[in-house]
Structure 1
Amino acid sequence: MPNTSPRFFNPLMIWTDVALKTSEMLVSSGSVIQMRTSRMAEHGLRPSPSDMREIHLMSEEKLAAVTESGAAIANQLHTINYALVNRAVQQWFQSHLALWSLATSFTPAQAITRGQVFLDASTRVANTWSQLSSASARIAQRALKPIHAKATSNARRLSLPQPAAA
């Protein structure tokens, strides 16, 4: 379910959320890698049954998280970004035409009228680019979500005391 709080309409806040989640995921991933590597080094060429389960689980989780992340990216790109990029490019050209029209004004009245047209076109471009930035950040959020969830849950799970090997 998408975030509908007002802070998620501001591209800066969305990108900040992405950066914080990415940092948390990287710290958790480093911790998980360290714990798993230590366990593998401890048992060497004779992994215990729990080590083998962990290795299989690691592979399955990575594949599932990457698949879910890719699906989130594809879905968002398909539904939002292509239309926004198309609109942004069209509006950008319209603002340049309005600027050219303003530059070729012959009378002060023409300049005022064309200046307002240029200002309106430029405002639409800025608004659309802001929406595009927000949409891109939401894509990054949704792509990061399954990977972040697995990394943080694995860090919590693996930091718990492990049962002694029989």
Structure 2
Amino acid sequence: MKYRKRTPPNPWNPMFGNQQLWLDLATRNTEMLMAAAQVITHRTQRMASAGPQPNARDRREFVRMGSEKVDAARESATAMGTQMMALPWDLGLRWWQAASRASAAAGALGASRTPAQAMARGKTLANALQATGKAAAHASNAGARVAGRGLAPIHAKATANARRLAKG
């Protein structure tokens, strides 16, 4: 199986940016699962054929199986932890800014003196409320980014092993 080079989603596409992040995550997860199945099959057959007296090459591969899992888990936890450290501040700031704009726009609309002024301020309020929706979408995007950062080292190890072991 050929594994594709990951292309980052387009963050400037408001219509499909959120779905694209989650779709990319699902695609990489599927690739990782398929690669893992290939690697498990290859290594299980190798263990069975090596028997109780594996040669030096087999022993190196069997040791590598355990150490690479520990390395990938450590890299994954570090990547997700790093991504999550700034998350509360980023999300909180976005929500606070969106709520402040919406609140100010609602107050201005309530203080309108003319119908024309009310129409203009109503448009400002609608835009502020739309920004609140974008802040909610950002929270979902943040979840996909954290999961993607955690999956990246595991995906890299599994697909690299599948390519390496397929060569023989």
| TM-score, scaled to structure 1 | 0.73
Partner of 2:67: 60
**Unaligned segments of structure 1, at least 5 residues:** 102-107, 162-166
Q: Is the 8 A contact 1:25 1:148 kept in 2?
A: yes
Q: Is the 8 A contact 1:84 1:132 kept in 2?
A: no
- Mapping of residues 14-163 of structure 1, within 5 Å: 14-79=21-86, 81-87=87-93, 90=96, 119-161=126-168
Deviations 1:20-50 (A, max 9, x none): 1111111000000111011112223222222
Moved over 6 A (4+): 3-6, 91-98, 111-114
Q: How many residues align?
A: 157
Deviations 1:116-154 (A, max 9, x none): 575344212211112222222222222211111110110
Task: State the alpha-carbon separation in 1 of the partners of residues 161 and 31 from structure 2.
Answer: 13
Q: Is the 8 A contact 1:84 1:128 kept in 2?
A: no
SS in structure 2 opposite 1:45? Answer: coil
Q: Is the 8 A contact 2:68 2:157 kept in 1?
A: yes
C-alpha distance 4-122 of structure 1, shift in aligned 2 (>3 A): farther
RMSD over aligned CA atoms reads 3.4
**Unaligned segments of structure 2, at least 5 residues:** 1-5, 108-113
SS in structure 2 opposite 1:135? Answer: helix
Task: State the alpha-carbon separation in 2 of the partners of residues 154 and 6 from structure 1.
Answer: 26
* Percentage of identical aligned residues: 35
Task: State the alpha-carbon separation in 2 of the partners of residues 139 and 16 from structure 1.
Answer: 14
Partner of 2:3: none
Give the partner amino acid of 1:125: T
Q: Is the 8 A contact 1:87 1:128 kept in 2?
A: no
Q: Is the 8 A contact 1:35 1:158 kept in 2?
A: yes
